[in-house]
Structure 1
Amino acid sequence: MAECCPLAVGSWAQGLWVSQPSSVQGTEGGSVTLPCTYNSTQEPRLGSYTWVKEVAGAWLELSNETQEFRGRVSQARDRSFLRERRADVELRDLRPYDAGTYRCLVKIPTVGAGAGNGTWLQVLKPVAGFECEADGGVGAEHRPWGRIVDRKGRREGERCEGRSAAGERVKDGPEL
C-alpha cells in the first residue's frame, strides 16, 4: 500500500490543478485509459505522477510493481506529461477486482503536489451469449457489439449486428 503526504485535491491552493473524469467504464478482459490532465501556474520542466486505487481506506499504487496490477499498466510518455500536461494511465486485461476509485497524483517540484477528485472505474462483464432479434430469418448470424448501461450501472439494453441469411447487414438494439 502506498502512503503519501496530504495533497491539494482539485484546487489552485498550490498553483496546481489536477482534473480527471468522475467515471469510466471498461470490459472485463479489455483495456481502459484513466485520463488525467493538470494545469499549473508555472511551466513544468520536471515532474511526476502516480495513480492510486483506494482500497479499505488506504492507497494501492497502480503500477507494474504492484502485484495486483503487474504487467498490466502503461503510463503516458514524459513528453505527454510535460508538454501536453497529461498524466493518463492504461490498465489492460481488466478484472472484476479492478473496479473502484482511482486518483491521479501529480507532483511538480517548482509548484507543489495535487490530486484529482477520483475516477470510478466500472468493469463490465463482456457481452456474449445473448440472442439478437433482427429480421434475419433462418441461417442468420449475429454477434454482440455493445451494451448500454445507465449512469448507475443498470443494464438498459444490448445491441448487436450481423448478416441476414440473405447476406444483408442488420443491426438490433437501442441507439446510443
Structure 2
Amino acid sequence: MENESHDIQVFQILSITANEGEDVLLPCHFYISSAFKFGSYHWYKDSVKRIEVHNESAEFKGRIRKVESSDFINNKNASLLIHGVNISDSGTYYCKVEIPFVGIVSGNGTYLHVASSKAQAVTTLNISAPSCCNTETSQSGLILIGVLLAIYLINRLTGC
C-alpha cells in the first residue's frame, strides 16, 4: 500500500547544503484529504540501503530530533533535525508518512550535502612591508609570497 494513497501527499525540498558540525533541519510536510487523529512518520537514508534515521541507530545515535506529535497532527509537519552533521551524513533522505486506514506515502527525497569544515576555512592575509623596506621591489616580493601562500593553502584545503 506504500505510495499508493491518493489521499496523502508528502512534500520535501530537493536539496540542502550544510557545513560539517551544523544542525540541519530536513523539512517534510504533508497534505491529507481527510481528518485524522493519529499517525506516524519515519525517515530513511538512501533508497537502496534504507537506513532508518533515529536516535537508536549507530549512525545517528543521539543526534536526531523529531517534531512533537501535536505538530505532526495539527500542522502536518514531519520534519527532522539532525544535530552536528558530518560528511558521512551526506545522502538522500526520504520522509515516510503513515496514517492508519488512509495510507503510507514517502516523499521524493531530500539530498543532504555536508561540506567539510576545512573547505569553508578562508584565510585572509594582510601582508605589508616592514617599515625599513618600503621599496616597490620588496612590496612586489611580499605580494608574490602572499599569492603563492594562498594557492598553497587552497590546494591543501581542497585536496588538489
So what's the TM-score if we normalise by structure 1?
Answer: 0.67
Q: Are 1:128 and 2:128 matched, yes or no? A: no
1:69-80 paired onto structure 2 within 5 Å: 69-80=60-71
Name the larger-Rg structure: 2
Out of 81, 97, 103, the residue aligned to residue 88 of structure 2 is 97
Structure 2 CA distance for partners of 1:131 and 1:67, relative to 1, 3 Å:
same
- The corresponding residue for 1:146 is none
Amino acid across the alignment from 1:27: N
Alignment of 1:22-101 (within 5 A): 22-54=14-46, 57-101=48-92
The count of corresponding residues between Structure 1 and Structure 2 is: 126
8 Å CA contact retained: 1:14, 1:113: no
Between structures 1 and 2, the one with greater helix share: 2
Of residues 80, 86, 101, the one that matches 1:110 is 101
Percent sequence identity is: 32
Alignment match, 2:136 = none
Gaps of 5+ in 2: 130-160
Distance 1:96 1:83 in 2: 34
> Considering only aligned residues, what root-mean-square deviation do their CA atoms show, in Å?
2.0
What are the within-5 Å matches in structure 2 for residues 3-14 of structure 1?
7-8=2-3, 13-14=5-6
On the 8 A contact 1:99/1:122 being kept in 2, the answer is yes
User: 2:122, 2:12 → 1: CA distance?
Assistant: 34
The one of the two structures with greater contact order (alpha-carbon pairs below 8 A, sep at least 6) is 2
Q: Give unmatched runs, 5+ long, in structure 1.
A: 1-5, 139-176
Distance 2:12 2:123 in 1: 34
In 1: Cα distance, 2:25 partner to 2:99 partner: 22
Runs of 4+ in 1 over 6 A off after TM superposition: none
Identify if the C-alpha distance between structure 1 residues 41 and 25 changes in structure 2 by more than 3 Å, giving closer, same or farther.
same
Greater per-residue strand proportion: 1
